[in-house]
Chains A and B, each alone.
Chain A
Amino acid sequence: MERDKNFILGVYDDEDVLLHAVSEVRTSGVKIHEVYTPYPVHGLEDVLGYKRSRLPIAAFLFGMLGTTLALTMQLYMMRFDWPMIIGGKDHAAIPDFIPVTFELTVLLAAFGMVGVFMISSNLKPWAQPRIFDLRSTDDKHIMAIDIANNTSMEVAKIQEILKSSGATEVNNKSFE
């Protein structure tokens, strides 16, 4: 069966029920594709077992890039390309370069982090978001389970697990 096409959806009313349901469903061996909630639910990443984001590493690397870029740019301009004496200082007056270096470090770290986040979350301007259930933007929590990822279990069995974990509805959803 093809991945990312056919899903079973559990619809939950209450975030407490959802949090317990997520851990129940996971312990029963079902792999959860994603949970969609109308608002951030505290502790959901923990029960879903998500690892911490590696975004800070990207931010650090982009920051370092900014530092290097700023220092080389200023050194090249002020010392080699067009040497100028400003305020009686040496051509390569490092303290003078620090404010610009700081700004470029922050700028590149911020932009780099946003860029990496957008790429890794598939937030391209032309990306078509997949809506599993419109009510996940209003008052329902939606747990999506990819059937292709749970081939070892029968669909009816998964639906049964969702029901018993407190889902008010269990639906199917397929994407083209």
Chain B
Amino acid sequence: MKQDNQISTNFNVLGIDVGGTFTDLIYVDKENNIIEFTKVPTSPKNQAFGVMDAIRKADLKLDQVKLIVHGTTTTTNALLERKLSKTGLITTKGFKDVIELGRRTRPNSYGMHGKFVPIISRDLRFEVSERVDAKGNVITPLNEIEVKKNAEKLLELGCESIVIHFLHSYANNNHELRAFEIISESWPNNYITMGHSLLSENREYERGVTAAINASVQPILEKYLRKLENELSISNYKNELLVMNGNGGTISSKMVVNEAAKTVMSGPASGVIAAAHTGQSTGINNIITYDMGGTSTDVALIIGNQPSVSSDLEVEYGMPVHVPMVDVRTVGAGGGSIAKLNLAGLLEVGPESAGSFPGPICYGNGGTIPTISDANLLLGRLNISKIISDKNKVSIVDIKKIFLKKLSKSLHLDEIKTAEAVIKIANTKMAGAIRMVSISLGVDPRDFTLFAFGGAGPLHASALAKELGIPKVLVPARPGITNALGCVVADLRQDFTNTLNTPIDKVNILDLHSLFEEQEKKGVELIKKQGLKLTRISSNFSLDMQFIGQTHILRIYLPNSYPDLDYLQKSFEKSYLNRFKVKLSEIKANIVNVNTTIQGHKAPFDISLLNNKLDKRLDLDDALLEYRNVYFKDKFLNTPIYSRDRMPFEFQMKGPAIIEQMDTTTLIEPDDKLYGDYLGNMFIEVGDFS
């Protein structure tokens, strides 16, 4: 890793993350000892209103703020709801249907139903004469007149953005560049995306869809950011606005629109970044992040402090976005997941959710279907007085009645046992999903620490860890606003990938070195251009490799940009043996992709600032709120309930216990041990109890 030292700064950052339900804010001004947290409802129509609400509620003076980092789901929502701007396509003659045909798939293994709507409809996809072969040789020259005419036609048809996507442009991009020049002359805005510009990779469907998604969300993101910038400037904010990307890094709001596709799926990435930072601060390098919210659970892996990043994720069926993104997988289980009996009379939980309205029965909005949250309430794990308000007419008795009628009778269990079963089934399902994620990345979950956050994560974490054989759970200081913390701690980041696809014995090592240098130079330039004060700039180099004949790849991280070939072959063989327990010394290695990541680091953030030291008591007993009956296994135990805010930094205790705080509830099972560290994190050492 190279380092480039620059001036360090005081820490003064405002992080605002927009989630599905809430907009979260954290502001840290170290110099003046200010720290603020706020949560307001998200304004779905224009997220800027929620952002400004949060700023007002936190009573911030924006002229004092040095930097704002913002996570937004504007592009994600536009894509999932298909509220995209009208986009046209110019492509190689004979290939306009590529982005509609896909790769010969169906949404589910079983069931012949399934819908797919391409990002750009066929009447807005135009072909031009041009052809490059797989080696990059021009077979048919670009017909420039056709390019011009077709672009004009698309403009007349009302297109706001345009995509130029030619076959084999990863091997030779001249035609795309020339078409770009021609179209730029008459196109009224900058929303022109070339296929090769986001990712120079050899799959025409994936590259084309990625480019189409980029173009069709550009105007939406731009309008949103300009609106937000305007609102901020009215409130006297004069400094830089950075936006979270799906790769877990940030980029200037002035530059983000160019590669708008990179913000799709930035939502869950920020939580993972916060987890990595928290892990690093406490010396924990391998983490499984477990973010359980109202409707779903997000899971990601952090290996050696690096969040696992992938360039071949799909946003939904048939919708690949092939740009580097933190590899977050979603499981259909959240607090609002519905419990029901299937036709065979067996209990099932999720993936259907009661949503935020009417939501679980206990919300009192007229929900009448048992959910995970209701089950937690019946077991005494959630605090009834916190959920059930004056407006809420639902009582425990009502919830029990519904459980009895809908589930307990046919299961021949009482309501409490039923509630316990709902939790158990949900945990089995989440544990299975976590195992699949870790195995698909080639690691054993038992070597990891579970990082629990989100509204419901810390409530299920201990049981889940036992199910997975994970020895330790980390519950950060502010589990409910982890995504906003991700904004605060994220660094500037640029990723580059070039496809080489060459057997190792045919690689010219000097070419490889200069490719790394080129990528690095480009990245450093882009980072510096943003004009931010940084403590240092670092570069990471890696290769995606495989044995010749394989299709899956393994990423090899390099200590520098000038490895020799012998080193490459050896480190690949070593990683392969490590992962698949198989030695294949008779087969040669192949270098598939060449990757460089450049990060511009801000001053490191001290996570102990997340705690309000004035609330902390010296003695653990002073944090005790009450005793409550909580159900574990066979019986209700009289269980101490603590206030997280009042708990001292460093302490030790044994389960059972419940720790309550504004944004989440942590469950400590009997036989578990719990301790706190000097940064305000809590660790559960899970016992055998299950």
Is the pairing of A and B real? no
User: What is the interface of chain B, defined by CB distance below 8 A to chain A?
Assistant: none
